[in-house]
């Protein structure tokens, strides 16, 4: 990401002129203090249950998951006694803390119990064994610390503290703990359906996906990055059909050469890429004030630089992905023998849908690109999912989440909305909540963020009280006191 700095810093300076003024945020009261050493021990223990989920096997490692949930029950007794935990199926836990005012829409907090496996053969590359939960050098180390048992444990500490304090929410608070985020998130869909069936629509749902990055690639300085959008996911099969037979008398084109032309045609018709239609302009605007001095220059040259900014972003793969739907041919198949003409050849193309595109419009776009090629078809697979709606970046819900983030981020760090390019559980609530936010107030350097799903994953002990206090504050302002609808 370092190479982004040069390109983006110029872009940011220029963005100051074309983007709307950033919201000024009032940090909320920073809430109760928590004992970071106690939380560190809990996170360490949580890491010692290797809750690895397995694709297509909902109850894999079931005993480990049960032991983990028994640990949570022992450690957070008030939540388990008072908030009626139910298993919605295959270990999807839902806690309900009923509000006193049924006219207020509920809020939902999500976290997942599962972790990705440690890649076999890489165990030696860890400084401490991945499931020991070692506390050393100011970090808790292990698989799942950042993704996302640190988030889960600090969330539960916040709720438990509210219960100890006798808090009574006006607004219903749901806490949904998924067993399978890393392998598809069927559990989160069950939780969303549970609300749907009761005719409930949440004000917001909060999950992982953003962090406070200490060395933002945008500025090199700290920034609290809140995910307000996320890309959709879609894989299409491109099939080319042609006459079979003996390769000694081929037609002008075989199924394989036709497929090659189809892939080329699709790549030569990229989707629209622009700063609009997602959070990118707001992201640039929120970051630009950190570059004051030169920003003044940019403001004076307003309007001229939109295409230039976009041109700079288009040069970087990670930045380009924020601007539009991406096209990645990933699998190709065709032919059985060197002297036999294949009757069919296929390619899989993986798309990550920008919020401005839908499954249907993307499919129409791809089909248009190959319409001139007879014998070529394009079909979406059954797993395609739309990009969820972009959450509010102003108004009460944003002010609450961003205000709590501002209170717990390093002084002067801007709160920056952005688009998550991966997938999170919260997408299951696209039609069940007005706003989907993705944020944990853990502080990480880009290098630490890269340890997620990699070696030496770790979380800073210093951050754990801030994280719990962040959740305490959000719950407090959303549901317990000063509640407005």
In this structure, the number of other CB atoms found within 10 A of the CB of residue 471 comes to 27
Query: Are the beta carbons of 416 and 8 closer than 8 angstroms?
Result: no
* Listed ranges 148-156, 345-353, 395-403, 454-462: which one lies at the site for Zn ion (CB under 5 A): 148-156
* Listed ranges 141-149, 248-256, 319-327, 351-359: which one lies at the site for Zn ion (CB under 5 A): 141-149
- Long-range Cβ contact pairs of 161-164 (< 8 A, separation 24 or more): 161/32, 161/34, 161/468, 161/472, 162/472, 162/475, 162/476, 162/480, 163/78, 163/79, 163/82, 163/83, 164/78
Q: For the CB of residue 330, give the shortest distance to Zn ion in the complex, in Å.
A: 22
Query: Are the beta carbons of 231 and 352 closer than 8 angstroms?
Result: yes
| 309 near Zn ion (CB under 5 A) | no
**Quick one: DSSP state of residue 397?**
H
Site for Zn ion in 386-425 (CB under 5 A): none
Query: Are the beta carbons of 219 and 290 closer than 8 angstroms?
Result: yes
Torsion of CA 332, 335, 337, 340, to 10 degrees: -150
CB closer to Zn ion, 148 vs 347: 148
CB closer to Zn ion, 43 vs 148: 148
| 146 near Zn ion (CB under 5 A) | no
* Listed ranges 23-31, 145-153, 287-295, 453-461: which one lies at the site for Zn ion (CB under 5 A): 145-153
CB closer to Zn ion, 112 vs 171: 112
CB closer to Zn ion, 148 vs 461: 148
Q: For the CB of residue 103, give the shortest distance to Zn ion in the complex, in Å.
A: 34
CB closer to Zn ion, 148 vs 284: 148
**Quick one: DSSP state of residue 386?**
P
Round to whole Å and give the CA distance between 150 and 102: 32
Angle at 214 between CA 404 and CA 435, to 5 degrees: 35
* Listed ranges 140-148, 187-195, 302-310, 341-349: which one lies at the site for Zn ion (CB under 5 A): 140-148
Q: For the CB of residue 448, give the shortest distance to Zn ion in the complex, in Å.
A: 15
Q: For the CB of residue 326, give the shortest distance to Zn ion in the complex, in Å.
A: 21
Q: For the CB of residue 230, give the shortest distance to Zn ion in the complex, in Å.
A: 13
CB closer to Zn ion, 148 vs 211: 148
CB closer to Zn ion, 148 vs 420: 148
Q: How many residues bind Zn ion (CB under 5 A)?
A: 2
User: Where do we find the tokens 């994280």?
Assistant: 467
User: Nearest to Zn ion by Cβ — which residue?
Assistant: 147
Q: For the CB of residue 430, give the shortest distance to Zn ion in the complex, in Å.
A: 18
Query: Are the beta carbons of 220 and 2 closer than 8 angstroms?
Result: no
| 207 near Zn ion (CB under 5 A) | no
Round to whole Å and give the CA distance between 175 and 198: 16
CB closer to Zn ion, 42 vs 147: 147
Single residue of 134, 147, 207, 230 touching Zn ion by CB under 5 A: 147
User: Where do we find the tokens 């607004």?
Assistant: 171
Round to whole Å and give the CA distance between 90 and 84: 17
Round to whole Å and give the CA distance between 376 and 155: 51
CB closer to Zn ion, 148 vs 291: 148
Q: Give the CA count within 13 Å in the CB-facing half-sphere of 205.
A: 32
* Listed ranges 139-147, 220-228, 283-291, 407-415: which one lies at the site for Zn ion (CB under 5 A): 139-147
Cα–Cα distances in angstroms (integers) from residue 104 to residues 98, 250, 269, in the given order? 11, 70, 47
Q: For the CB of residue 112, give the shortest distance to Zn ion in the complex, in Å.
A: 6
CB closer to Zn ion, 148 vs 362: 148
**Residues 6+ positions from 389 with CB-CB distance below 8 Å:** 355, 430, 436
Phi, psi of 433 (to 5 degrees): -135, 145
CB closer to Zn ion, 147 vs 465: 147
Q: For the CB of residue 147, give the shortest distance to Zn ion in the complex, in Å.
A: 4
Q: For the CB of residue 150, give the shortest distance to Zn ion in the complex, in Å.
A: 11
Single residue of 83, 94, 148, 401 touching Zn ion by CB under 5 A: 148
Q: For the CB of residue 178, give the shortest distance to Zn ion in the complex, in Å.
A: 9
Give me Rg for the CA atoms of the chain.
24
Residues interacting with Zn ion, by CB under 5 A? 147-148
């Amino acid at each position: 990401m370092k190479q982004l700095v040069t390109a983006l810093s110029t872009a940011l300076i220029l963005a100051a002129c074309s983007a709307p003024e950033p919201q000024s945020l009032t940090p909320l009261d920073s809430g109760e203090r928590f004992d970071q050493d106690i939380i560190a021990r809990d996170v360490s223990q949580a890491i010692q249950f290797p809750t690895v989920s397995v694709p297509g096997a909902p109850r894999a490692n079931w005993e480990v998951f049960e032991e983990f949930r028994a640990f949570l029950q022992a450690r957070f007794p008030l939540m388990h006694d008072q908030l009626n935990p139910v298993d919605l199926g295959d270990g999807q836990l839902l806690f309900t803390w009923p509000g006193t005012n049924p006219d207020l829409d509920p809020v939902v907090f999500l976290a997942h119990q599962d972790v990705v496996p440690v890649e076999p053969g890489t165990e030696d590359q860890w400084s401490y064994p991945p499931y020991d939960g070692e506390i050393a050098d100011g970090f808790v180390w292990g698989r799942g610390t950042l993704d996302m048992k640190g988030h889960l444990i600090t969330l539960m500490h916040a709720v438990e503290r509210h219960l100890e304090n006798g808090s009574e929410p006006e607004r219903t608070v749901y806490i949904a703990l998924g067993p399978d985020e890393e392998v598809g998130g069927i559990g989160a869909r069950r939780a969303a359906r549970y609300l749907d069936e009761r005719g409930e629509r949440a004000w917001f749902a909060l999950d992982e996906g953003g962090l406070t990055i200490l060395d933002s690639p945008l500025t090199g300085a700290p920034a609290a990055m809140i995910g307000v959008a996320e890309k959709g996911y879609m894989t299409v099969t491109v099939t080319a059909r042609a006459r079979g037979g003996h390769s000694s008398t081929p037609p002008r084109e075989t199924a394989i050469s036709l497929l090659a032309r189809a892939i080329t045609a699709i790549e030569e018709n990229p989707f629209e890429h622009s700063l609009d239609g997602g959070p990118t302009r707001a992201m640039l605007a929120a970051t630009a004030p950190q570059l004051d001095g030169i920003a003044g220059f940019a403001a004076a040259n307003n309007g001229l630089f939109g295409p230039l900014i976009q041109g700079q972003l288009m040069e970087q793969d990670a930045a380009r992905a924020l601007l539009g739907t991406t096209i990645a041919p990933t699998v190709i198949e065709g032919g059985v023998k060197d002297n036999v003409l294949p009757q069919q050849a296929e390619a899989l193309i993986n798309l990550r849908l920008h919020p401005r595109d839908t499954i249907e419009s993307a499919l129409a776009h791809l089909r248009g690109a190959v319409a001139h090629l007879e014998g070529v078809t394009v079909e979406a697979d059954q797993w395609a999912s739309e990009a969820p709606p972009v959450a509010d970046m102003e108004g009460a819900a944003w002010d609450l989440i961003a205000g709590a983030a501002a209170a717990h981020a390093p002084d002067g760090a801007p709160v920056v909305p952005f688009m998550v390019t991966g997938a999170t559980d919260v997408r299951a609530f696209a039609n069940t909540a007005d706003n989907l936010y993705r944020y944990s107030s853990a502080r990480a350097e880009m290098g630490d963020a890269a340890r997620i799903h990699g070696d030496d994953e770790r979380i800073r002990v210093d951050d754990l009280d801030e994280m719990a206090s962040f959740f305490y504050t959000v719950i407090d302002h959303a549901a317990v006191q000063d509640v407005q609808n």
